[in-house]
Chain A
């Protein structure tokens, strides 16, 4: 264990010497949240001045590492001692064999594999939610990417079929949702739509079309 002054900028942000771009950004956000003044994660963990010193170091580390010139200059001052190892679970390259498809959006977090495929777990609303959380996305993020009303995304997860629009819309929503969270839409959509249509047979479609229109307004 090193004291703060002994730590390199890389160690402060827990990134490798090659990390840059979006990965660096994510690591910075995570570190900032971890030691945030009013944050949960460091609540009563240490004397306040230590947390404040850490916050300062995080900002400095990010300023230097995100600026190519400053970073080059900084790297030149570093000795040959390797950094303390970056914990593997936050090694932002989740390319796990068990991932069905890479998510269309860069995940916020990595390290939790999709182990459910091997277990034959149903493709239901809860599975979509688990996949979403596994990548660290909140509903709003999925809504932003897919341009789908967050209320619908929530209803899809909760399987509150009654309040969803006509099946043709739902099919498209589920497909986009699945792709966004790294699930295979070709498998998710038929399975999900079976559940949907079992609860809401096609004959009941007309009224929902209306409900849909009014909700959009």
Chain B
């Protein structure tokens, strides 16, 4: 599964660390991976010192086997691939390396791989996000996060469509649509669907199918009011209407001082303050994710 959201500081890494801890504590063998090579800090949330080997070694070609990357964490059943020691002038791998990485991750000997994505909508970040069978988009109840969240979803949507379209001309149409000011007047996923259908009915059918299959989950972090809680339902409605996506509103977490306390101790809040609001909310989300797992 993957956690993304476009904006930095919305709680992707907080949720990645805590969800992976809860999943591990519930008996799953989990590998969490920090793909934020420019701002890696998942290891800190989990109390792991920067290890000798990291994802950056794989990207730089110093390590060719993903199997060799996971290191132990203080939490039994949870291993971690850190994103530390990145190459500063070449922070993200090329598309080919990425594809190999994501395929290799599926070969890891564990039940769940949890991918923590960085901020922004860089193609690499989008690919990591799309790699999840379950993809969580983390939002804050504020306009900046909502705005970045939608641009991220839009990028993810177009990228996913580009990957599944088979005909070259349809693929280049999708690529062209990614430019928000494209000359074809394609402004929304719906416009694009119409164009694709007009161009090639068979691809159009595939497009529709794929649209229905893309079901990201919404999590609203740092809620402070009932209005904030409702925001998730509203975003789901907007996604359905404008992106044709059947997103699911999986949960919310309130703003809780216990989170800061936990990160200062470099331990999951679900471990040090299991009765805190944040811990209860994280467990509720984890439970929904567990229900959806095979």
List the interface of chain A (C-beta within 8 A of B): 1, 3, 14, 30-31, 33-35, 39-47, 50, 54, 87, 89-90, 108-109, 111-112, 115-116, 119, 121-122, 124, 126, 129-130, 132-134, 136-138, 141
Assuming the contacts A31-B237, A89-B248, asked whether A46 and B242 have C-beta atoms less than 8 A apart, the reply is yes
7 contacts between A and B (CB under 8 A): A40-B142, A44-B143, A45-B150, A87-B246, A89-B248, A115-B284, A116-B280
Centre residue among B147, B150, B233 by max chain A CB count within 10 A: B233
| Residues of A close to B146: CB separation below 8 A | 40-41, 43-45
| Residues of B close to A134: CB separation below 8 A | 229
Are A1 and B193 touching (Cβ within 8 A)? yes
Assuming the contacts A43-B143, A45-B150, A122-B275, asked whether A133 and B242 have C-beta atoms less than 8 A apart, the reply is no
Are B234 and A138 touching (Cβ within 8 A)? no
Q: Complex: how many Å from CA A90 to CA B248?
A: 10
| Residues of A close to B251: CB separation below 8 A | 112
B37 at the interface (CB under 8 A from A): no
Query: Smallest CB–CB gap between B276 and chain A, Å?
Result: 7
List the interface of chain B (C-beta within 8 A of A): 141-143, 146-147, 150-151, 187-190, 193, 208, 211, 223, 225-227, 229-231, 233-238, 240-242, 244, 246, 248-249, 251-252, 254, 275-277, 280-281, 283-284, 287
Name the residue of chain B whose CB is nearest to the CB of A126: B277
| Residues of B close to A124: CB separation below 8 A | 275
Q: Complex: how many Å from CA A124 to CA B240?
A: 37
Name the residue of chain A whose CB is nearest to the CB of B241: A54
Are A138 and B226 touching (Cβ within 8 A)? yes
Name the residue of chain B whose CB is nearest to the CB of A49: B187
Name the residue of chain B whose CB is nearest to the CB of A135: B226
Are B233 and A109 touching (Cβ within 8 A)? yes
Are B237 and A41 touching (Cβ within 8 A)? yes
Prevailing SS type, chain A contact patch: loop
Smallest CB-CB A-B distances: 3 pairs: A1-B244, A41-B234, A34-B234
Known interface pairs A87-B240, A111-B249, A133-B252; 19 further A-B residue pairs with C-beta atoms within 8 A, sorted by A's residue number: A31-B237, A34-B233, A35-B238, A41-B146, A43-B147, A43-B150, A45-B238, A45-B242, A46-B187, A87-B246, A89-B248, A90-B233, A119-B280, A121-B275, A126-B276, A129-B254, A130-B280, A136-B230, A138-B226
Q: Complex: how many Å from CA A129 to CA B26?
A: 26
| Residues of A close to B276: CB separation below 8 A | 126
| Residues of A close to B241: CB separation below 8 A | 35, 54
Query: Smallest CB–CB gap between B30 and chain A, Å?
Result: 20
| Residues of A close to B249: CB separation below 8 A | 89, 111
Query: Smallest CB–CB gap between A45 and chain B, Å?
Result: 5
Name the residue of chain B whose CB is nearest to the CB of A4: B241
| Residues of B close to A133: CB separation below 8 A | 223, 225-226, 229, 252, 254
